[in-house]
């Protein structure tokens, strides 16, 4: 009953097999491996983007920071949601990589930015050298509260950003969860909607530590390559990153893994709803935020369930009926049995 | 006959096995995995440094940059050899991480800094706010030209640096090659000699991409942790780094791998010397720089040998007898047969 | 009728005279001038802080940025009001100087931070390497909305900050306006209240471009000196900065200038209130925010009055009776006649 | 007998008068003053560059750092002489402003870079993401050793740099001294020779603290404006910078001042040569490096002469006949009498 985070899960057998296969012989380093050539072509094909520049890095913070830094000047601002990962969980990394750019934090339900909010924020940005100018919009799909931007919503936000002359980054740490839930093509929810650069996550969905950065317009490719090396993020034995991503994209493994995570979350959602539990945010993929009495949390923890209090631990002195919120994440490796057990214990304790 | 670089080799079976073993179940992320606890204790024991702070990162550039940045202020200078990896091969990463510190490049045979050179350089550094002040000394063992600092030499350099009030970093991308060649203990050539922080390489000696940073004085530990996260270098699924390092340090695997690389280089050195080839630098571990006629290079390349022209390609129009220099690196996976074949082809062509 | 900004005014005759006097002969540069010795001693005496480290720079953005950077680490956060000058008007300079630290923006009436808000914000700051940690509190007195922190309020904010282990910076671009309005000593509203470092403004109150940075604890002095030089803010002909500050502090000129500005603002406040005009924020010194019908603004502008629409220009299509807000700043050189004329035109137009 | 530095001199009466004149009334800030409009037009006319973007800052370090940062990427290198001011006397400021770019230090007599040296250095720069790429060439005229680049030499260096695709910055802290000595037009030794951006010094030649940055191609203008503000270098009461530069450029004052400094240096050079003193570098303008016995230095110092030992103080235990080197700088305010007295004392002591 591990629902703490999808990055606490392991990797499927195909990934281990790919590492073994890639281990044969000597290989040129730093991205010149033949596996990377294949990864690049696969991603271009899957995204219907034959010109895209494609790179691999090992962490999501890196993918986001380098992608954003490639577009933003140090005297500009990165527009994002107040609860974006780049604001809340990356310890100033995007600022570091962008040479001192600032973040503009936007409000919005379910960690989503609405078209109205973005329009207003950009309208409110004063011109002139005294003020950090709009530099980029970064949106997260699915969001840190588990909600999903639809293709139409992404399209509208990109339209607004582009009208102001700023590009759009999508933090897709859980991109595949959004994709399979939305039921669209990768292109439809990215470049066809206006996204300029995507952090295409692999780690949370079954890799050891691989994320792709996809520039749909390759104009920033050369700059990215220098930024990646300068950040210490270019791997000498790059083949081990490539091999993981290669396995991920073979035989629809990436989609299968995300579908499993989403299906478990859907089942959990149904069970919780059935039990009368309040869900705080609409489920966009594999994450749920739920509220139930503290006594139920205690029963679950006693039974070995692992998940986070979210956004905060219960207040001191809260009674057994205090409605307390938590985050429940399903991963590719969450089983039906995990869901069933958690649900049953919960129902008993309610 | 692959002698281009030790980071073009794969990993031994033990490392793949460790990854598989670590793949079981869910694990806490970001360095809180149980494998990391074991790695920390192993390294402390091997280095006789029970208080040392130990961290893992995935690339050598990262290890060096974060280690150095933990000590240097942005208005200071990093003293290193003109041919140090941090100067020649890291695309300004140490400057980036150190917030804009500069490098002071010292000369010296075989990419080694002599005590006299360091003493003079520090004496020449003017005081006052107009000038970047000495901030740290960084030495590489074995050096980028394959030479080795002895324990006595490391001790003397550290003494000079400490007398000026600056700490010492050792870039140990090939630390184990130096260690087994020197025949000393890890402690003797590091903290007992005065080294404050070590980049303890794993990648070039048989891992996929893991380096340890070892602070012998843990005072900088907390700062390092923030710097690592801010740089995007903290892995969520950290267990896969830990597992590799764990395997590396088990049953003396790290020493065995380095001994093999050094033994192959020693055999190659003997054969080259026997063939009358000029060796440009003294062999400190697993790297040789040799000079032989261009026609011999051509014969070797025709036979499939892979290595770098170093430091530069042959001049245009150089004749078949032009003495041309190259770098030959042996790795843990270089075979006796590789050495024998290269030597034989070379002898025939001389 | 110039009420746009106090930094649009000139300088009093004493400042010009001081520049002429300082122009004699040769002088050592970079702060080693004898005028600076006198300035340092005067400021130490006026602030009852014999150990204080005192420096001069030429702009307020510089004073704030360097003062803050001396305390904040790049992975930390600067807590300030949403309308602080360091957030709204310095184009990311504090982030630049602090090596990539972020800002945490707090709400509060009249651009003041309340004790409750600060307490909550610090309580909400999550620990751990994923999140920018609290680094410093910066408060502005008088604020960007013209309000004033009392000695008691400053004391309480400092107490809260220090309890969390973070220091306090005061942006005193209009410090003297606050001081004479509060009727306390310089020490009482700064270090005795807990302020660690003060940007002590001169430019807005009658100098050409001189601000002092005063560290009440000199521990950061050496670091500041390097940061100032590295930022290009150390003047070779430093005597011309010193001479201005010397004149400023002689014969209570600084106090006289601020008192004049405040007195004009007080008279204007009385006249506006008398005319039934709404004042938006409480007057803390020399700045008023007032709201009157658009037709009155138009009459004033037609008569040559200069001031800013604040925080924004009138909406398109606003009618003549639309209540529109503006900022009116009195400076040391604002005359009684300026105030009288503006008031009379306004009354006629209401 | 003050020969320590031209930045130890005061300012001529015209500059003080200009400040008084500019002090009248209220003025828009931040460079929107009418004096700046005039300065911009004057500089464009004097340099025959009607499209040039012209800005004022207060220190030479700032002018150099901002000019260079406008062209260089953080992963690139600034090519300059080993004894350039940007390397030796700016405490990493150019690195700070350029976001972490590095410096490549070139050798050359008299602190001049030769065409051969530059050609070789650029040829030696390896391509690829591992290595900081050539970003800009910065040359100093007159150099830190007092020598001058001729128009032909500047032209040749610019040709070489442009052939590699990098722009050229000229550090003209003593530009006017070079200009009047070379006897050319401002355009001939700058943009007509290929210079892309000039730090046009005023401070060392008679201003309190004003330097212009002149972009002959205005493409970088907008970026510069943001960089200047972000560095804290945009003055609110900008008119006081403009007024100084306005006076400087009126009635050829700038040329008159530099001619006086150069003429004094020429007279000193003749007298020293006549006395048999060795001059270490060729005189390019207003600076001499001379070598005479330590006993002569002692006699001069005893008589009140002020100048620097350069590049280093005399060695411990040096005897009275030890030939010791010093730097002698003439400024706009150096008198014939100063020169005569120094020469006479020296001759007596030789």
Q: Which CATH class is domain D11-253?
A: alpha beta
**Residues forming beta bridges with residue D323, ordered by sequence position:** D293
Question: Do C78 and C101 contact (CB within 8 A), yes or no?
Answer: yes
**Residues forming beta bridges with residue B197, ordered by sequence position:** B169, B215
Structure tokens at A118: 């973005």
D96:B96 CB<8 A: no
Comparing CA positions, the residue from C222, C119, D225, B193 lying closest to residue A127 is D225
> In chain B, which residues have their Cβ closer than 8 Å to the Cβ of D76?
92
CATH architecture of B255-349: Alpha-Beta Complex (3.90)
The contact set of B with C (CB < 8 A) is: 30, 73-75, 99-100, 129-130, 133, 223, 225-230, 234
Question: Do A325 and A289 contact (CB within 8 A), yes or no?
Answer: yes
Closest residue in D to A231 (Cα) is D75
Instruction: Give CA C127 to chain center in angstroms.
Output: 32
In CATH, the number for domain C12-251 is 3.40.640.10
Comparing CA positions, the residue from C255, C250, C176, C173 lying closest to residue C210 is C173
B96:A231 CB<8 A: yes
> What distance in Å separates the CA atoms of residue D292 and residue D297, rounded to the nearest whole number?
7
Count of H-run helices and E-run strands, chain D: 13, 11
What is each CA distance from B302 to B297, B298, B299, B336, D74, in whole angstroms? 8, 6, 5, 20, 41
Per-residue model confidence (pLDDT) at position B28: 86
> In chain B, which residues have their Cβ closer than 8 Å to the Cβ of C227?
75
Instruction: Give CA C146 to chain center in angstroms.
Output: 10
D103:B102 CB<8 A: yes
Task: Give the single-character DSSP code of B43.
Answer: H
C26:D10 CB<8 A: yes
Closest residue in A to D102 (Cα) is A230
Structure tokens at C295: 């037709």
What is the average pLDDT across C140-166?
98
pLDDT digits (tens, 9 = 90+) for C247-306: 999 999 999 999 999 999 999 999 999 999 999 999 999 999 999 999 999 999 999 999
pLDDT above 90 for B280: yes
Average pLDDT over all residues of chain A = 97
Question: Best of A102, A128, A134, A226 to disrupt the D interface by mutation (most D CBs within 10 Å)?
Answer: A226
Query: Residue B156's pLDDT band (boundaries 50, 70, 90)?
Result: very high
> What distance in Å separates the CA atoms of residue C350 and residue D38, rounded to the nearest whole number?
41
| Three-state helix/strand/coil letters over D47-93 | CCCCCCEEEEECCHHHHHHHHHHCCCCCCEEEEEECCCHHHHCCCCH
**Residues forming beta bridges with residue D77, ordered by sequence position:** D102, D134
Helix (H) or strand (E) holding D299: helix D294-302
Query: Residue D250's pLDDT band (boundaries 50, 70, 90)?
Result: very high
D26:C226 CB<8 A: no
Higher pLDDT, D28 or C132: C132
> In chain D, which residues have their Cβ closer than 8 Å to the Cβ of A129?
30, 225-226, 228-229, 234
Comparing CA positions, the residue from D272, D278, D275 lying closest to residue D330 is D272
Range scoring the smallest mean pLDDT among B2-11, C205-214, D250-259: B2-11
> What distance in Å separates the CA atoms of residue B103 and residue B80, rounded to the nearest whole number?
7
> What distance in Å separates the CA atoms of residue C240 and residue C36, rounded to the nearest whole number?
10
pLDDT digits (tens, 9 = 90+) for C190-222: 999 999 999 999 999 999 999 999 999 999 999
Residue A64 distance to chain C (closest CA, Å) = 14
A130:D229 CB<8 A: yes
pLDDT above 90 for A1: no
Closest residue in A to B240 (Cα) is A208
Considering only CB atoms, B232 lies closest to which of A9, A10, A65, namely A65
Pairs across A and C, CB distance < 8 A: 52
pTM: 0.97
> What distance in Å separates the CA atoms of residue C233 and residue C96, rounded to the nearest whole number?
14
Question: Which residue stretches of C55-114 are H helix?
Answer: 60-69, 85-88, 93-97
Closest residue in D to A232 (Cα) is D130
Residue B167 distance to chain C (closest CA, Å) = 18
Residue B101 distance to chain D (closest CA, Å) = 7
> What distance in Å separates the CA atoms of residue C105 and residue C109, rounded to the nearest whole number?
13
Residue B75 distance to chain C (closest CA, Å) = 7
Pairs across B and D, CB distance < 8 A: 52
> In chain D, which residues have their Cβ closer than 8 Å to the Cβ of C2?
25-26
> What distance in Å separates the CA atoms of residue A314 and residue A309, rounded to the nearest whole number?
8
Q: Which CATH class is domain A14-251?
A: alpha beta
Question: Do D102 and D77 contact (CB within 8 A), yes or no?
Answer: yes
pLDDT above 90 for C1: no
Provide the percentage of residues in chain D whose pLDDT is more than 70: 100
> What distance in Å separates the CA atoms of residue D43 and residue D254, rounded to the nearest whole number?
12
Closest residue in C to D63 (Cα) is C232
What is the average pLDDT across D49-54?
98
| Residue D120 CB neighbours (<10 A) | 12
Q: β-strands A323-329, A287-293: how paired?
A: antiparallel
Closest residue in A to D69 (Cα) is A74
What is the average pLDDT across C83-104?
98
pLDDT digits (tens, 9 = 90+) for D158-216: 999 999 999 999 999 999 999 999 999 999 999 999 999 999 999 999 999 999 999 99
C75:B230 CB<8 A: yes
Closest residue in D to B310 (Cα) is D126
pLDDT digits (tens, 9 = 90+) for C295-315: 999 999 999 999 999 988 899
> What distance in Å separates the CA atoms of residue C288 and residue C266, rounded to the nearest whole number?
9
Per-residue model confidence (pLDDT) at position D1: 87
Query: Residue B312's pLDDT band (boundaries 50, 70, 90)?
Result: confident
Comparing CA positions, the residue from D225, D227, D210, D250 lying closest to residue D41 is D250
In CATH, the number for domain C254-349 is 3.90.1150.10
Considering only CB atoms, D236 lies closest to which of C7, C20, C65, namely C7
Domain boundaries, chain A: 14-251, 254-349
D236:C60 CB<8 A: yes
Question: Best of B72, B129, B231 to disrupt the C interface by mutation (most C CBs within 10 Å)?
Answer: B129
pLDDT digits (tens, 9 = 90+) for B30-84: 999 999 999 999 999 999 999 999 999 999 999 999 999 999 999 999 999 999 9
> In chain D, which residues have their Cβ closer than 8 Å to the Cβ of B91?
75, 129-132
The contact set of D with A (CB < 8 A) is: 30, 73-75, 99-100, 129-130, 133, 223, 225-230, 234
Average pLDDT over all residues of chain B = 97
> In chain B, which residues have their Cβ closer than 8 Å to the Cβ of A229?
61, 90-91, 93
Structure tokens at C62: 């510089």
> What distance in Å separates the CA atoms of residue B177 and residue D208, rounded to the nearest whole number?
59
D102:B102 CB<8 A: yes
Comparing CA positions, the residue from D230, D100, D93 lying closest to residue C93 is D230
Per-residue model confidence (pLDDT) at position A3: 95
pLDDT above 90 for B1: no
Question: Do A201 and A231 contact (CB within 8 A), yes or no?
Answer: no
> What distance in Å separates the CA atoms of residue C340 and residue C350, rounded to the nearest whole number?
15
In CATH, the number for domain D256-349 is 3.90.1150.10
The contact set of A with D (CB < 8 A) is: 30, 73-75, 99-100, 129-130, 133, 223, 225-230, 234
Residues 6+ apart with CB under 8 A from D210: D56, D57, D58, D202, D203, D241, D244, D245, D248
Structure tokens at C346: 């306004």
**Residues forming beta bridges with residue B201, ordered by sequence position:** B211
What is the average pLDDT across D32-51?
97
Question: Do B38 and B54 contact (CB within 8 A), yes or no?
Answer: no
Closest residue in B to A15 (Cα) is B20
Question: Best of C60, C94, C100, C129 to disrupt the A interface by mutation (most A CBs within 10 Å)?
Answer: C100
Structure tokens at D202: 């005023």
Half-sphere exposure of D172 (CA within 13 A, CB side): 28
Per-residue model confidence (pLDDT) at position A68: 98
What is each CA distance from B20 to A256, B247, B252, in whole angstroms? 21, 12, 20
> What distance in Å separates the CA atoms of residue B276 and residue B298, rounded to the nearest whole number?
18
What is the average pLDDT across B314-325?
93
> In chain D, which residues have their Cβ closer than 8 Å to the Cβ of C66?
232
Question: Best of A72, A76, A89, A91 to disrupt the C interface by mutation (most C CBs within 10 Å)?
Answer: A91
In CATH, the number for domain B10-253 is 3.40.640.10
Residue showing tokens 């001479």: C243
Question: Do A58 and A210 contact (CB within 8 A), yes or no?
Answer: yes
Query: Residue A350's pLDDT band (boundaries 50, 70, 90)?
Result: confident
pLDDT above 90 for C121: yes
């Amino acid at each position: 009953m591990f629902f703490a985070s999808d990055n606490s899960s392991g990797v499927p057998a195909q990934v281990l097999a790919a590492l073994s296969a890639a281990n044969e012989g000597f290989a040129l380093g730093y991205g010149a491996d033949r596996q990377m050539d294949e990864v690049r072509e696969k991603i271009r094909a899957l995204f219907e983007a034959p010109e895209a520049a494609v790179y691999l890095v090992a962490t999501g913070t890196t993918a986001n920071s380098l992608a954003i830094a490639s577009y933003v000047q140090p005297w500009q601002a990165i527009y994002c949601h107040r609860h974006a990962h780049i604001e809340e969980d990356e310890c100033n990394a995007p600022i570091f990589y962008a040479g001192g750019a600032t973040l503009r934090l936007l409000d919005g339900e379910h960690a989503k930015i609405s078209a109205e909010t973005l329009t207003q924020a950009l309208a409110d940005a004063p011109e002139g050298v005294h003020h950090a100018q709009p530099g980029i919009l970064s949106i997260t799909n699915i969001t840190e509260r588990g909600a999903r931007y639809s293709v139409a919503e992404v399209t509208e936000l990109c339209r607004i950003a582009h009208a102001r002359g700023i590009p759009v980054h999508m933090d897709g740490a859980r991109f595949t969860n959004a994709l399979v839930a939305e039921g669209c093509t990768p292109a439809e929810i990215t470049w066809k909607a206006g996204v300029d650069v995507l952090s295409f996550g692999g780690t949370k969905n079954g890799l050891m530590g691989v994320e792709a950065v996809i520039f749909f317009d390759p104009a920033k490719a050369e700059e990215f390559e220098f930024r990646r090396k300068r950040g210490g993020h270019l791997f000498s034995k790059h083949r081990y990153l490539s091999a993981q991503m290669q396995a991920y994209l073979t035989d629809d493994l990436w989609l299968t893994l995300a579908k499993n995570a989403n299906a478990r979350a859907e089942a959990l959602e149904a069970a919780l709803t059935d039990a009368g539990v309040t869900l705080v945010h609409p489920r966009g993929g594999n994450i749920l935020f739920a509220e139930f009495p503290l006594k139920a949390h205690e029963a679950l923890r006693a039974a070995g369930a692992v998940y986070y209090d979210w956004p905060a631990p219960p207040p001191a002195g809260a009674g057994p009926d205090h409605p307390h919120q938590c985050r429940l994440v399903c991963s590719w490796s969450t089983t039906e049995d995990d869901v069933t057990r958690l649900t049953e214990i919960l129902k008993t304790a309610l």
